[in-house]
Homo-oligomer: A and B are copies of this chain.
Amino acid sequence: MTDPSATADVTDRPSGAAESVVPQRVREFLDSTETPCLVVDLAVVRRNHGALRSALPDARICYAVKANPAPEVVGALAALGASFDVASPGEIDLCLAQGAGPERISYGNTIKKRRDIAHAYERGVRLFVTDSEPDLVNIAEVAPGAQVFCRILVDNKGSRTPFGRKFGCPPETAVRLLRQARELGLDPYGVSFHIGSQQLDPAAWEHGISAARQVFEGLAGHGIALRMVNLGGGLPGSYTEAAPPLAEYARRIEQSLDRHFGADRPDLLVEPGRQIVADAGVLRSEVVLVTPSAADDRRWVYLDVGRYNGLAETEGEAITYRLRTSRDGDPCGPVVLAGPTCDGDDVIYQRNVYELPLTLRGGDWVDLLSAGAYTASYSSVCFNGIAPLATYCVDGDERA
């Protein structure tokens, strides 16, 4: 979570710039659809995938399906030859149904039931993460001979949504587990780490790559040659806080790989979610009500989307979306943004002060930009009787 004491002024209304931000095909769709809804532009998904392939040409791209499991998104990436980082049997079945062969699936959740591993293995999946002995033993028993990589715990500093200590083990434990993997008949393939989602520091991978090298050396001492480093996710989407360009991330990652692996370069995996799909999505909401505040001059703007039907990542105001409204260009004033439920926690931005048009009223629309990742799939099934956020995918020529 972000520091709750900080107050940021995140006025971000590119007046008159709506046309350059949102392609016409998306705008047309938004204007014709019930709110709230998420519209994903598949052309942008493909462009972002291509940009990452250019930036990190040696890395195998495993799309983190959890970021947006819309079948059209998975299908578009499968058609480009992408691989997939999956969290559950449900995500495996989705990828297979969308044309990705099992050899392109990496089971990237350290928390899996024995029968989930069996489900994956029966469908041909042969690549699994692990970070604990009980999980490793399960893999050995129900996915004999599979490739495994071990997730190590690294510093999440610089991430807007860090992971805490839930995942990953210390490098010395990874050495022990990957030795045990070989004893259990598995193929100890490599090491993964995750420097935290929406990572704004392009140098953040250095520590993980250094720790990965340590595990490689530890195993070399036992006659085991690891062959893979999984760089995890963390590449950013475009929110109010500017992130460095993708090329800068790639440059710093390449530097760290050179420093720690030199000519002995391992296979690389990368697990982008947000980088692929965040900027491809626009979330259209309707203003339900604008009311004066009892306490100060900040109006309360209530939208028909909130914490429980799409904006889960505004918990702690971790992710600050850029906004555009149907009244852009009119004079602005500060607001508190809140969602539509009878839940006191369903407030979107209160610490971060957004400025929105003074003319804004019920029935107007507010678009949340770069909302393609970690939104629709988080929606509650029906909290407060409100339907989950609908996703629509549009497609078109990138130059349109």
Restricting to A116-154, which residues have a CB under 8 Å from any CB of B? 131-135, 138, 153
Interface bits A89-108 vs B (CB < 8 Å: 1, else 0) = 11110100000000000001
Chain B residue at smallest Cβ distance from A86: B385
- A385→B91 contact, CB < 8 A: yes
Q: Determine which of B88, B114, B166, B304 lies in contact with A113 in the assembled complex, contact meaning CB atoms within 8 Å.
A: B304
Interfacial chain B residues near A111, Cβ < 8 Å: 288-289, 302, 338, 340-342
Q: Determine which of B90, B132, B163, B290 lies in contact with A134 in the assembled complex, contact meaning CB atoms within 8 Å.
A: B290
- A377→B383 contact, CB < 8 A: yes
The reply to whether the CB of A65 lies closer than 8 angstroms to some CB of chain B is yes
Interface bits A282-314 vs B (CB < 8 Å: 1, else 0) = 000010111111110000101010001000100
Segment at the interface with B among A244-252, A254-262, A344-352: A344-352
Which of A109, A113, A135, A308 has the largest number of chain B CB atoms within 10 A? A113
The reply to whether the CB of A380 lies closer than 8 angstroms to some CB of chain B is yes
- A345→B108 contact, CB < 8 A: no
Also in contact, A163 and B344, with CB within 8 A (given A288-B112, A294-B170, A379-B381): yes
Interfacial chain B residues near A173, Cβ < 8 Å: 294
Q: Complex formed: what's the CA distance from A135 to B387 in Å?
A: 22
The reply to whether the CB of A87 lies closer than 8 angstroms to some CB of chain B is yes
Interface bits A182-200 vs B (CB < 8 Å: 1, else 0) = 0000000000000010000
Interfacial chain B residues near A329, Cβ < 8 Å: none
- B132→A384 contact, CB < 8 A: no
Q: Complex formed: what's the CA distance from A159 to B92 in Å?
A: 42
Chain B residue at smallest Cβ distance from A271: B342
Also in contact, A344 and B164, with CB within 8 A (given A134-B290, A380-B379): yes
The reply to whether the CB of A239 lies closer than 8 angstroms to some CB of chain B is no
Q: With both chains docked as a complex, state the minimum distance between the C-beta of A302 and any C-beta of chain B, in angstroms.
A: 5
Q: With both chains docked as a complex, state the minimum distance between the C-beta of A108 and any C-beta of chain B, in angstroms.
A: 7
Q: With both chains docked as a complex, state the minimum distance between the C-beta of A162 and any C-beta of chain B, in angstroms.
A: 6
Residue ranges of A at the interface with B (Cβ–Cβ < 8 Å): 65-66, 69, 86-92, 94, 108-109, 111-114, 131-135, 138, 153, 156, 161-167, 169-170, 173, 196, 286, 288-295, 300, 302, 304, 308, 312, 315, 338, 340-342, 344-347, 361-363, 376-388
Q: Could you write out 22 A-B pairs with CB less than 8 Å apart?
A: A66-B342, A66-B384, A69-B382, A86-B385, A109-B341, A111-B341, A112-B289, A113-B304, A113-B363, A114-B362, A134-B290, A134-B361, A138-B362, A165-B294, A166-B338, A167-B342, A169-B294, A196-B344, A315-B315, A315-B345, A378-B383, A379-B381
Q: What 9 new A-B contacts, CB under 8 Å, besides A111-B342, A381-B381?
A: A112-B289, A134-B290, A153-B294, A166-B338, A166-B344, A173-B294, A315-B315, A377-B380, A378-B380
